[in-house]
Structure 1
Amino acid sequence: MSQKSKVIVIGAGVSGLTTALVLQRNGYQVQIFAEHFPGDSNINYTSPSAGADWRSELISIPNLSNLEAISFKTLWSLSEFPETGLMRLQSFTYMDEKPKLNGDPWFKDLVPKFRVIPQRNLPKGVEYGCSYTSITVDVPKYLRWLQTQFIDAGGKIKRVHLSHINEALDEDVDIVVNCTGISARTLGGVEDDTVFPTRGQTVIVWAPHVKKICTRIGADYITYVIPRQDGVVVLGGVLGKPDQKTAESIIKRCTELCPELALGKEYLEIISNNVGRRPSRTGGIRIESELRKNSKGKDIIVCHNYGHHARGYSTSWGSSSKALELIETALKTEQINAKL
């Protein structure tokens, strides 16, 4: 790998920031092109609106589970440092319908203190439950930390709106990484029609006494309670159209799932209501590379890393490591072809 390889990462969500940091730390000269950065608020800038905690499906999913495992190990190590905004807490997952597992969940030996909750201790209407130590993310703090780490490592940022990926290819670069999330559907030269928005809504409340993650999953809903390092708690979730009635439903479901939220009070101290558009994709996350020519005929490696839906934080380090692997493989192939 050439120490002089120049990279543009498009997008400054959790995937873009993490990928840029990984590449910068591995000797690349990286610049982030993005319309929105940490501290901004926009319905299409999803990362700041996320829950977020490390959570996975109970059944192993090829490729995806490996990305989640890599990410868990990295997030776990980073959670030793309070400045990251990451925090270790016990997580309780309840399922209304017992999952068809061949044994225990795939991550049993990955996460600390895993146990299956006895049936007698499950909430009414729940058929399966498990608990383990997981990680929550104070999203605003963590995104700022990623950006600061990237800049301190020598990375650069540029606020810009791109209408076509060729605008990045025509810069003085060797590699472009597409981490545009929901914008991958409309970005010229990509226009991936398998990308679609999944609406989400959360309610942020002040409840510093809550020190556990709770998740309940039904046939057509998910309810979650995710404490953050700064004392606020994120309540969710929803897959349909967000509105005030949805917010009221979220609060009702979350206080039933985690009664200590209310501390006997009639009303929770609500800080904000957040609405976001998760970058979903038919077929799952796209992490793949290709070779394109810019307007001057120069070969540019383009690596795509988008379509994470609600798994952006849970897969961020694994996805970034995979993108790095694809880029380095493409560079070696270019070098071999140049010698032939």
Structure 2
Amino acid sequence: MKSESIVIIGAGVIGLKVALVLAEKGYGHYTTIIAEHLPGDTSINYTSPWAGANFSALSASDENALRWDKFGYKYLLDLAAKDGKNAFVKETASIEYWDELPSRAKIDSMAEYLKDFREIPTQDLPVGVAFGVKFTTITVNAPTHIRYLLKKLTQKYGVHVTRKRVSHVSYGYLSRDTKIVFNCTGNAARELQGVQDSKCFPTRGQILLVKASQVQQNVMRHGKDYETYIIPRPYSNGNVVLGGYMQKGVGTSDTFGEETESILSRTKALLPVLDSDRTEILSAFAGLRPSREGGARVARQHVQVGATGRPGILVHNYGAGGTGFQAGYGMAVEAVDTVEEEIKALGIQSQPRL
């Protein structure tokens, strides 16, 4: 079988994690990633480099989100322990607050597996906060982490990568050898011909990148209609991401001075150590989270390819919103599981794991 037997459309963190799961199963040499944007690029249409990124309780409380979070946390915790410096991921002390009490199902799920998890006594909560927890999170240096993933996929596992813009999902079937295509196109799934998922929408965020080496912890406050967060970027010489906004349906790449001032005001109130001459603003950025009504879509379907209508399998994996870095590995495992038998039926000789 050839390198395009399995094709992944999209090279954001979701597509890269699908490639990683396939590679870990021994199918790296039979996998090709095609994408308009690759790690190292910057574009408002390429979300992953703009992410905070960390493991947080930002996700929803449905069964899928809780399951993917658990998968992702264990994966990131293991990665931090085994290859953290190279992967740009690190264990970090974390505090998270909610202005409204989260569901008991979510609290119980987090308590089950988060390292050092404990609820904060009510009397110790800031004014206006209904609930808070402390635990050990994993922070991720998003732009360098995805470059690490791409290097690992290509150099260690033999995954092929092609820069190519795809306007129709059927173009992922690169040749008659292509049997399975993974659609990991994020925000593009709304307009991508052959998919055109009307449930997809962008959720804009604005962040500040600051130099603040005095910040050594992750702090987040989940409000009713806002998010405030302080996320130190591991192995970045003291850089910290401050945010933010959750603007549903907003797709502009512009950044705004009043939003910068709001972010500074909120984050300094949340963590006073930021209010210091040592804090230097480096830049403001905007990113568009790939959101979807009803949550992320992980599902397979049978399709007909080309003029002859030959059979193919399409696996959708998109719509993670702001949780791609924490939920992406669990989503990838489940996406690959949907076609495990079909991959075996291709007659691919699985390569031994390195």
TM (norm. structure 1) is 0.92
Residue 336 of structure 2 is aligned to residue 324 of structure 1: yes
Residue 261 of structure 2 is aligned to residue 248 of structure 1: yes
* CA distance in structure 1 between the aligned counterparts of 2:174 and 2:143, rounded to whole angstroms: 32
Which of 136, 141, 165 is 1:138 aligned to?
A: 141
- What corresponds to 2:161 in structure 1? 157
* CA distance in structure 1 between the aligned counterparts of 2:75 and 2:342, rounded to whole angstroms: 25
SS of residue in 1 equivalent to 2:55: coil
- What corresponds to 1:17 in structure 2? 16
The aligned runs of 1:1-340 (5 Å cut-off) are: 6-28=5-27, 29-56=30-57, 60-80=61-81, 81=83, 82-101=85-104, 104-152=107-155, 153-171=157-175, 172-229=177-234, 230=236, 231-240=238-247, 242-263=255-276, 265=277, 268-295=279-306, 296-331=308-343
SS of residue in 1 equivalent to 2:221: strand
- What corresponds to 1:338 in structure 2? none
* Equivalent residue pairs, number: 332
Change over 3 Å in CA distance of 1:102–1:275 after alignment to 2: closer
Q: How far is 1:329 from its partner?
A: 4.0
* CA distance in structure 1 between the aligned counterparts of 2:103 and 2:178, rounded to whole angstroms: 48
Q: How far is 1:125 from its partner?
A: 2.0
Change over 3 Å in CA distance of 1:34–1:307 after alignment to 2: same
SS of residue in 1 equivalent to 2:33: strand
Q: Is the 8 A contact 1:291 1:300 kept in 2?
A: yes
Q: How far is 1:98 from its partner?
A: 3.0
Higher mean alpha-carbon deviation, 66-75 vs 290-299, is at 290-299
Q: Is the 8 A contact 1:59 1:105 kept in 2?
A: no
Q: How far is 1:297 from its partner?
A: 3.4
SS of residue in 2 equivalent to 1:107: helix
* CA distance in structure 2 between the aligned counterparts of 1:210 and 1:57, rounded to whole angstroms: 21
Q: How far is 1:331 from its partner?
A: 4.8
Higher mean alpha-carbon deviation, 100-109 vs 182-191, is at 100-109
Q: Is the 8 A contact 2:66 2:106 kept in 1?
A: no
Q: Is the 8 A contact 2:61 2:105 kept in 1?
A: no
Amino acid at match of 1:292: V
Higher mean alpha-carbon deviation, 73-82 vs 296-305, is at 296-305
Q: How far is 1:170 from its partner?
A: 4.5
SS of residue in 1 equivalent to 2:339: helix
Amino acid at match of 1:297: G
Amino acid at match of 1:163: S
Change over 3 Å in CA distance of 1:187–1:100 after alignment to 2: closer
Q: Is the 8 A contact 2:91 2:137 kept in 1?
A: yes
Identical-pair percentage: 38
Q: Is the 8 A contact 1:58 1:107 kept in 2?
A: no
Q: Is the 8 A contact 2:71 2:330 kept in 1?
A: yes
Consecutive unaligned residues in structure 1, runs of 5 or more: 336-340
Q: How far is 1:25 from its partner?
A: 2.5
Change over 3 Å in CA distance of 1:215–1:146 after alignment to 2: same
Give me the CA root mean square deviation. 2.1
Q: Is the 8 A contact 2:59 2:323 kept in 1?
A: no
SS of residue in 2 equivalent to 1:315: helix
Change over 3 Å in CA distance of 1:103–1:66 after alignment to 2: closer
